[in-house]
Amino acid sequence: MNTVRRVSLTQYLIEQQREHGHIPGELRLLIEVVARACKRIAIAVNKGALGDVLGSATTENVQGEVQKKLDVIANEVLVEANEWGGHLAAMASEEMDSIHVVPNRYPQGEHLLLFDPLDGSSNIDVNVSIGTIFSVLRKVGHTRGISEEDFLQPGRQQAAAAYCVYGPQSTLVLTLGNGVALFTLDRETGSWVLTQNGVRIPEDTKEFSINMSNLRHWAPPVRRYIDECLGGEEGPRGKDFNMRWVGSMVSDVHRILTRGGIFMYPWDKRTPDKPGKLRLMYEANPMAFIVEQAGGMATDGTQRILDIVPTKLHQRVGVVLGSANEVRRVTEYHQQLG
Ligand code: P6P
């Protein structure tokens, strides 16, 4: 791991602005407000049973999933933190059916914020790492009226993307389009401190990440790839592979950013009309931006995730991301086997 000057998130953003000049004050404020909100979520998550935050809420989200109490809390923290500052025009969340336009009593900014407020929430009650994923788009046009269509921009248009992992450490991983930086929450000072810069994903790996219980439902290219990994040293890959599956995308992606690997949540025939389980706008796109900025690759099996033109705010997508040479291999299998 390269050693870095341990500066605060604020100082990092100001220095990035000086060096690269592509971080308008409004975007810097947005990142800092969201990072502060993530600190509050980390505190709520860490309370666990002491904070009456475990278990399910009585509501369902737009995905038809029963919401956990912390899903609702995290969503409320992010909405309340971001609506008054004048840096945003509107927000979209996995936990909200439609977009949340900044109320008229507040000034509107030029950015759109999308987030999965608490990813991996099935792991909350069993004390496994979970996280927040967010994506920032620029508002197109300068009218005050904002609609869902304003959000439907391909992932390559993102101004920034980040995730927080609430684990043994609370970690913020951020890209503004100029590499990937990693911040660790210093609980004594309450600051996000730069602990790694220029994060790179190794091009090769011996570790795959997929929910193996879905094996019988996969398409042939995915089945071929995993069978070859399981073939180990004696098989066509000529090397043994390891498998990891946390069940929190933020945790699996963070491991890949840290030591390489390939993460797959592909289409499967359980629900043939759904391209995948994960959501494009606030899970796949921000993670794809971060992974590509770290030298990895991210496709839906056949095409670059960041090139997909969205048609619906909550649309789902197949995801294959991580070490470039492995993602390339899976994509080639899709092209060969269709
Ligand atoms: P499964 C969490 O619910 C999530 O959206 C991702 O964070 C995670 O990678 C995936 O679903 C886990 O899905 O089907 O293995 O429970």
Q: Which residues, at least 6 apart from 28, have a Cβ–Cβ distance to it below 8 Å?
A: 13, 14, 17
pLDDT at 161: 98
CB 317 within 8 A of CB 278: yes
Rounded Cα distance, 273 and 97, in Å: 20
Mutate to test the pocket of ligand 1, among 65, 94, 130, 248 (most ligand atoms within 8 A of CB): 248
- 46 C-alpha to ligand 1 centroid (Å): 21
pLDDT at 92: 98
- 120 C-alpha to ligand 1 centroid (Å): 6
- 104 C-alpha to ligand 1 centroid (Å): 36
Rounded Cα distance, 79 and 92, in Å: 9
Rounded Cα distance, 64 and 42, in Å: 25
Tokens at 224, concatenated: 């071929």
Q: Which helix (H) or strand (E) holds 301?
A: none
- 33 C-alpha to ligand 1 centroid (Å): 27
- 14 C-alpha to ligand 1 centroid (Å): 35
- Stretches where the chain sits below pLDDT 50 are none
For ligand 1, atom 13, the nearest C-alpha belongs to: 247
Mutate to test the pocket of ligand 1, among 118, 119, 282 (most ligand atoms within 8 A of CB): 119
Residue type, position 243, single letter: M
pLDDT at 2: 59
User: Three-class SS string for 118-179?
Assistant: EECHHHHHHCCCEEEEEEEEECCCCCCCCCHHHHCCCHHHCCEEEEEEECCCEEEEEECCCC
User: Tens of pLDDT along 145-187?
Assistant: 899 999 999 999 999 999 999 999 999 999 999 999 999 999 9
- 248 C-alpha to ligand 1 centroid (Å): 6
pLDDT at 296: 98
Rounded Cα distance, 298 and 242, in Å: 20
Of the candidates 53, 61, 57, 294, which has an alpha carbon nearest to the alpha carbon of residue 166?
53
Q: How many CB atoms lie within 10 A of CB 55?
A: 11
Mutate to test the pocket of ligand 1, among 265, 267, 280, 281 (most ligand atoms within 8 A of CB): 265
For ligand 1, atom 1, the nearest C-alpha belongs to: 247
Q: How many CB atoms lie within 10 A of CB 115?
A: 31
Look up the pTM and report it.
0.96
pLDDT at 276: 95
219: phi then psi, degrees, rounded to nearest 5 = -75, 155
Q: How many CB atoms lie within 10 A of CB 25?
A: 11
CB 160 within 8 A of CB 177: yes
Of the candidates 269, 280, 270, which has an alpha carbon nearest to the alpha carbon of residue 303?
280
Tokens at 107, concatenated: 């000034």
- 245 C-alpha to ligand 1 centroid (Å): 9
Q: Which helix (H) or strand (E) holds 228?
A: helix 220-230
